[in-house]
Amino acid sequence: MNIITKSMKQDKAQIGTLESRVHLHDVLVVGGGLTGLRAAMQAADAGLDVVVISKVNPLRSHSVAAQGGMNASLGNVKGEDGAEDNWEMHAYDTVKGSDYLADQDAVELMCREAPRSVIELEHLGTVWSRLENGKIAQRPFGGAGFPRTCYAADRTGHNALHTLFEQVVARKIPVYEEFFVTSLVTKNGRCWGLTAIDIKTGNIHGFSSKATLMATGGFGRIFSRSTNAIINTADGQALAMDAGVPLKDMEFVQFHPTTLYGTNILMSEGARGEGGILVNKNGERFMKRYAPNSLDLAPRDVVARSIEQEILEGRAYDQGYVHLDLTHLGSDRIKERLPGIRQIAMDFAGVDPVEKPVPIQPGQHYSMGGIDVDKNGSTMLKGLFAAGECSCISVHGANRLGGNSLLETVVFGRLTADRIIEEIQNVEQPEMEPVMAAVQSMETKTENILQRNGGEKFFSIKTDLTQTMQNKFGIFRDNDTMEDGLSEIEELKVRFSNSCFMNKEPSYNQALIQFLELEAMLKIAEVVAVGAIQRRESRGSHKRNDYPDRDDEKFLKHTIVSLKDGKPVINYKPVKLGRFEPKERLY
């Protein structure tokens, strides 16, 4: 790698020629989380020149925060009736949980590959929790017919991410760390690379490649209450959309039922999988009212709506929370199975769950929608691929089951890399000129941004955006409220066009990076809004008070959003059905 470290304020000779800041590789992987690292490993093992580009150190990717576990039908723990789990049951639970919006061919592929993926991680070094017989432990999770969630205490993502990063380091795969991707480079209907800011210096670099994989994660930070890391700002989705690639099902936003009140740090579903219960201010286990069979282990959309209903009807504590009670589990079990949850509760709420219940409220957690791809991770733009949370394959449909997101990262990180390996065999070396031209264009854009003065500071716009999304596109939705929200987003876009910030230094200019992040957030917020308004039904996480029923006749289809003249335009395409016919979803 030839990374220039001089300031942009110095002359061109000092910062290096344009040619020296354009890098040529076979495959670019954008994102250093589980998806990106697993894909990079696969490409490297095939002999390709692959690099990872990440705006943070990979070990600070949001994958590290995943707590609860990874689903796989290993059958290590039998069901209540003594039955043994299998991939078909995993697929059924996933499709039912998705409210029948998932593409069943992709679901089948993921569930078939699940056991192999868990065992592969073990062989690579992931330390799974164990049963007394030595087999990988599996706990119950919401919406699942069997205890199939494999886990590493309540730090599963942490374990898996460190495992894959070690493998990337062992393979000597280059990582362009603290590089923020600013555009995808296209010519003649193909993606030939990208541009990125070296955050350390402020210099614009170009990357030319035969294939680019987007693995940038979700867009949770467009909401004010979110479990997501602050880096989850919709960068990948916005980059793809600007390059002409449609987004799919963006209105389906998951709200996790149990986030810590006040900070919205995730309180893993594993806490309920271990036997934790939800109680309101009257001491009532209220889930019996909403899901009499599954209770606290109903799917996330059901539990989140139930908690919100308790809050709206005055059965929650005054500040707007209910309790997650683990005290009956006992000290030993909590310390062994939920050590991270206990530490978070003590550090951020001053509550030891061994002794007292934990205050929780729903918060945005996951993006079911994303870049429109097929089950191989291919987009409509040749040379551009996507996998993980930034994509929509779709294996989650209208509502993701807990334990399926970590699974998706490693399954489709590997499978998408396999498709890339196959597709680029006959691709010629990319042209450098389009990337060089894109670098010059991006230099002009960033210089113009840095020269702005006298406008509104953009940080207030970001705050207003997240509040609009939380209040107008939250757990319960209706047309009038969402139309008001869309108008507010449009006003925020106008304000943003006249905004500025004070820091004019190129090196480590976090204000510039956050400004560009907000540009993406505003685009994606508008896409979420128009998709939600046009879907006139209730399905999974998308619950409308004015259209309370699911409408399979009109909306058993994916929402597809593209840009036309800078504005989002909606089309639809059918869901891929299969062995599981849509029926009423009862828990």
Would you name the residues annotated as active-site residues? 300
Structure tokens at 237: 């989705």
* φ/ψ of residue 11, rounded to 5: -75, 170
DSSP-derived letter for residue 430 is P
Three-state secondary structure of 464-511: HHHHHHHHHCCCEECHHHHHHHHHHHHHHHHHHHCEECCCCCCCCCHH
Three-state secondary structure of 102-125: CCHHHHHHHHHHHHHHHHHHHHHC
β-partners of residue 361 are: 259
Structure tokens at 507: 């090196």
* Residues 6 or more apart whose Cβ sits within 8 Å of residue 548: 538
Structure tokens at 142: 């919401």
Cα–Cα distance measured from residue 78 to residue 76, given in angstroms and rounded to the nearest whole number: 7
Cα–Cα distance measured from residue 408 to residue 53, given in angstroms and rounded to the nearest whole number: 20
β-partners of residue 259 are: 266, 361
Q: Please, what sign has the CA dihedral across residues 272, 277, 281, 284?
A: positive
In the three-class reduction of DSSP (H, G, I as helix; E, B as strand; rest coil), residue 392 is classed as strand
* Residues 6 or more apart whose Cβ sits within 8 Å of residue 287: 277, 278, 294, 295, 296, 298, 303, 306
Contact 178, 56 (CB under 8 A): yes
Contact 482, 199 (CB under 8 A): no
* N-to-C CA span, the chain: 54
Cα–Cα distance measured from residue 143 to residue 294, given in angstroms and rounded to the nearest whole number: 8
β-partners of residue 366 are: 254
